[in-house]
Amino acid sequence: MTTTALVLLALAGAAPVLALLLERAGRDAVVLVALLSAVLLSGSALAAWHADESSGGQQATAAVLGVVAAVAAGSLVVRAVFRLTRGELLPRPVDSRASVSATEDVTGAEGEPEQVLRGGAWIGYLERAGTGVTLLAGFPEGVAILIAVKGLGRYAELKQSNAPEAFIIGTLASLLWAYSAVGVAVLLR
């Protein structure tokens, strides 16, 4: 069962490649690929939950794969959550904004421009990597430090924009995904 957990975890981390291929083929499948990632991650968690003793090499592999899955597929999950919260379940045409790098304005539900915080994608990658490392190091309090630093760093922008809701939704979706992905590695210890 340990090998099954590792394979499913690796596939969940590789999901962004599938999303990229689908986007290049002209399909907007962020929600679908995020759901697939969640199913793969759930399967790996179940396999890890029922796994026998794992070796040191398997534990190290699980740790690396957990952080990779947290960092790589987390952006898909966050984008899917944003689409779900905005009611955008129907496929949209792919354009240069489909990758939502959090560096541009997008149109909100009412058709008014909605400010997206700059650098959000990179901050999300670093947030999920930091979350994974602190959890694997046995220092879950480190996540609180990460959230505090992120909030303080964004405070001025959040105060002047209409983006606090997106900030909260994105942060929670990102952290929950990171906890889930790294949780598989913790279960295999």
Torsion of CA 50, 143, 9, 22, to 10 degrees: 150
pLDDT digits (tens, 9 = 90+) for 109-133: 444 444 556 677 888 899 999 999 9
Mean pLDDT for all residues in the chain: 78
Q: 28-74: per-residue pLDDT in tens?
A: 788 888 888 888 888 888 888 887 777 888 888 888 888 888 888 88
pLDDT at 133: 92
Tokens representing residue 21 in the block: 């291929």
Retrieve residue 92's tokens: 């949209």
Mean pLDDT of 77-88: 82
What pLDDT band is residue 104 in, cutting at 50, 70 and 90? Answer: very low
Q: Which residue has the tokens 């650098």?
A: 119
pLDDT score of 112: 45
How would DSSP label each residue in 44-113?
Answer: HHHHHHT-----HHHHHHHHHHHHHHHHHHHHHHHHHHHHHHTT--S-----TTTT--S-S-EE-TTSSE
Q: Is the pLDDT of residue 95 over 80?
A: no
pLDDT (tens digit per residue) in 129-169: 999 999 999 998 999 999 899 888 877 777 766 677 888 88
Whole-structure pTM value: 0.74
CA distance 44 to 147: 27
Q: Residue 56 phi/psi, 5° resolution?
A: -60, -40
Q: Average pLDDT for residues 2-14, to the nearest whole number?
A: 82
The answer for residues whose C-beta is within 8 angstroms of residue 81's C-beta and 6 or more apart is 34, 169, 170, 173
The mean pLDDT of 10-36, rounded to a whole number, is: 83
Give the model's confidence band at 106: pLDDT under 50 very low, under 70 low, under 90 confident, else very high. Answer: very low
